[in-house]
Amino acid sequence: EIQNALEAFFTKPLTLQGVHVLVTAGPTREMADPVRFLSNPSSGRMGFAIAEEAARRGAEVTLIAGPVELSTPPEVHRVNVVSAEEMYNAVTKHLSAEAIVVKTAAVSDYRPKTYQAQKAKKEDGETVLELERTPDILKMLGEQKEAQFLVGFAAETDEVETYAKDKLERKNLDMVVANDITADGAGFAGDTNEVMIMTKEETHRLPALTKRETSVQIWDAVEQNRCKGQG
Amino acid sequence: EIQNALEAFFTKPLTLQGVHVLVTAGPTREMADPVRFLSNPSSGRMGFAIAEEAARRGAEVTLIAGPVELSTPPEVHRVNVVSAEEMYNAVTKHLSAEAIVVKTAAVSDYRPKTYQAQKAKKEDGETVLELERTPDILKMLGEQKEAQFLVGFAAETDEVETYAKDKLERKNLDMVVANDITADGAGFAGDTNEVMIMTKEETHRLPALTKRETSVQIWDAVEQNRCKGQG
Nearest to A40 among B35, B126, B157 (CB): B35
| Residue B172 host element (H or E) | none
CATH of residue A147: 3.40.50.10300
Which residues from B are below 8 Å from A40, CB to CB? 35-37
For residue B122, is it within any domain? no
B43 touches A: beta carbon within 8 Å: no
Residue A210: what are its φ and ψ, rounded to 5°? -65, 160
For residue B120, is it within any domain? no
For residue A52, is it within any domain? yes
For residue B140, is it within any domain? yes
Annotated active-site residue B4? The verdict is no
Could you give the number of structural domains in chain A? 1
Are the CB atoms for A53 and A8 separated by under 8 Å?
A: no
Are the CB atoms for A58 and A14 separated by under 8 Å?
A: yes
- pLDDT value, residue A231: 42
Nearest residue to A12 (alpha-carbon basis) of A229, A226, A227, A219: A219
Beta bridge partners of B175: B151
- Contact state of B131 with A133 under an 8 Å Cβ cutoff: no
Residue B119: what are its φ and ψ, rounded to 5°? -55, 125
- Expressed as residue numbers, the domain containing B78 is 2-111+130-226
Nearest to B126 among A113, A126, A182 (CB): A113
For residue A173, is it within any domain? yes
- pLDDT value, residue A56: 96
ipTM, 2 decimals?
Answer: 0.82
- pLDDT value, residue A57: 96
Give pLDDT tens digits along chain A (231 positions): 677 666 655 666 899 999 999 999 999 999 998 889 999 999 999 999 999 999 999 999 999 999 998 999 999 999 999 999 999 999 999 999 889 999 999 999 999 999 887 776 666 788 899 999 999 999 899 999 888 999 999 888 788 888 999 999 999 999 999 987 777 665 665 678 889 999 999 999 999 899 999 999 999 999 999 877 554
Q: Average pLDDT for residues B100-122, to the nearest whole number?
A: 88
For residue B117, is it within any domain? no
For residue A116, is it within any domain? no
For residue A55, is it within any domain? yes
Looking only at Cα atoms, what is the longest distance across chain A? 65
B220 touches A: beta carbon within 8 Å: no
- pLDDT value, residue A53: 97
Q: Find the distance separating the first CA and the last CA of chain B, reported in whole Å.
A: 35
